[in-house]
Amino acid sequence: MGAGLGKGGRAALNLPPSVTYIANLLAVWRIGAQAVLLDHRLTRYEVDQALERLGVQVVVAPRQTKGSPLSLFLDVTESVTTRDGRPASTPHAVLQLSSGSTGPSKVIGRTAADLVAEIHRYTLIDGVPLRGERIILLPSMVHVLGLVGGLLYGLHAGIELVPPRRLTGDSILEAVAAGSTPATVLGVPFHIGLLASVTDPPKLGQLKRMTTGGELVPAAVSAKFEEKYRVPLGNMWGMTEVGVIATDLFGAHRPSLLPAPGLEVRAHDGELLVGRPESPYVGLSDPTRWADGWLHTKDAGRVDEATGLVTVLGRLDSQVSVGGLKVDLTEVEYALTEVSGVAAAVVLYDKEITAFVQLEGDATGAQVEAALAERVAGYKRPRTMHVVARMPRTTTGKLVRDRTVLRGAIP
């Protein structure tokens, strides 16, 4: 790799998905250095802030990039520069930034042993792709689902990773059809929408299933997908801090999931906790995030004592009181997303229950409000509904829930 990076050094990769990214990541690890993964879609300001914050010594960025704006995998020639940084101060193999969907990013560290343990968990999950099969890889390899669930697990298990030529529904199906071996589409809920946009998809015997990470998929969306493609839509729940936590790859337990082998999940005061012996955070000692061997997910949920099934009920801060009555904003949001014509929605409490919705087809805000009135009690319904052209999303495809950002999307 050059640039004088040595064992114990710290290098930042600010590269788009590409063979160049994979080669540099493996080179950093082979040297024995720490890799800082920065999404290529970050602004120059965000990248500079991260480099300074983390004391990066070497930066690998694109010098030349070839490919269309919709390309998932690019032809990249890298540029390697040195900085007056500092060696890695922790034993982590990789540092990642949280998605920032609800606030400022946190620095999260994963050791080599931690990554290996997660790869092993994947091998024990029923329904994951097997040797000789293919993964149609849609999520970025900078983030945990694409990095571990795609790249590292695929390399370990002998699975072919296939990025579509373009980020469109038709191109995803072309990637499935291009080979004869079973294929699993790995993505996030945003990618379900791409496949749903294909009006008359061909019958593809190679398509085994689609597995989505990130936000859990409403039952109505799952039903529509399975009706159109005749394959299971599997859910995965996880965090950057620990990777995959629970799965339901066959859709047999929806909306619940089975904990991944080797992980302990419990509920305490309505919050889901995950057993983790050490804090995953770098430069942060916050007992509200990790304490006494338990990672606080900040997700509300429950664990069935008899079956061990985990049900995620949304963000912990989604529970609000309206006129003395308790309202679960996640419940309202799910009801809203099940209304015909709603492509995406976020429901927040901003002095009053407020909804931000992205519509599709000929749907109107008035029609959506009328349909929601038939599904949700009056005291739960949003007092204000903003229709936006496109819902803001993080670089990992999650819906942004920051009030300021959402207000900025209002026409």
- Name the pLDDT band for 141 (thresholds 50, 70, 90): very high
pLDDT in tens, 180-221: 999 999 998 889 988 988 989 999 999 999 999 977 777 777
What is the model's pLDDT at position 284?
67
DSSP string covering 334-348, please?
HHHHTSTTEEEEEEE
Q: For helices 329-337 and 365-373, what crossing angle results, to 10°?
A: 120
User: Is residue 47 a contact partner of residue 56, using CB atoms and an 8 Å limit?
Assistant: no
> Domain 323-408's class?
alpha beta
Q: Across the chain, what does the average pLDDT equal?
A: 91
Q: How many helices and strands, by DSSP H and E, does the chain display? A: 11, 23
Distance between CA 37 and CA 47 in Å, rounded? 10
Decide if 10-89 and 112-314 have a common fold: yes
Q: Which of 24-38, 71-85, 254-268, 304-318 has the lowest mean pLDDT?
A: 304-318
The contacts found for 194-202 with CB under 8 angstroms, 24 or more apart, are 194/167, 194/168, 194/169, 195/169, 195/225, 195/228, 195/229, 196/169, 196/224, 196/225, 196/228, 197/169, 198/169, 198/170, 198/173, 201/169, 201/173, 201/228, 201/229, 202/173, 202/177
Report the Cα 259 to chain-centroid distance in Å: 18
- The CATH code belonging to domain 10-89 is 3.40.50
- Segment 52-62 mean pLDDT: 94
- Count of CB atoms within 10 A of residue 168's CB? 16
Domain 112-314 annotated CATH 3.40.50.12780: yes
Domain residue ranges of the chain, discontinuous segments joined by +: 10-89, 112-314, 323-408
- DSSP class of residue 178 equals T
User: Is residue 106 a contact partner of residue 281, using CB atoms and an 8 Å limit?
Assistant: yes
Q: What is the largest CA-CA distance in the chain?
A: 65
Distance between CA 213 and CA 206 in Å, rounded? 21
What is the model's pLDDT at position 101?
44
pLDDT in tens, 109-139: 999 999 999 999 999 999 999 999 999 999 9
DSSP string covering 259-282, please?
EPTT--EEEETTEEEEE-SS--BS
The answer, as to whether pTM is greater than 0.85, is no
- Token digits for 339? 């209304």
- Segment 58-70 mean pLDDT: 91
Residue 42 pLDDT > 90: no
- Name the pLDDT band for 33 (thresholds 50, 70, 90): very high
pLDDT in tens, 154-177: 999 999 999 999 999 999 999 999
- Segment 50-54 mean pLDDT: 91
- Token digits for 53? 């914050």
What is the model's pLDDT at position 249?
96
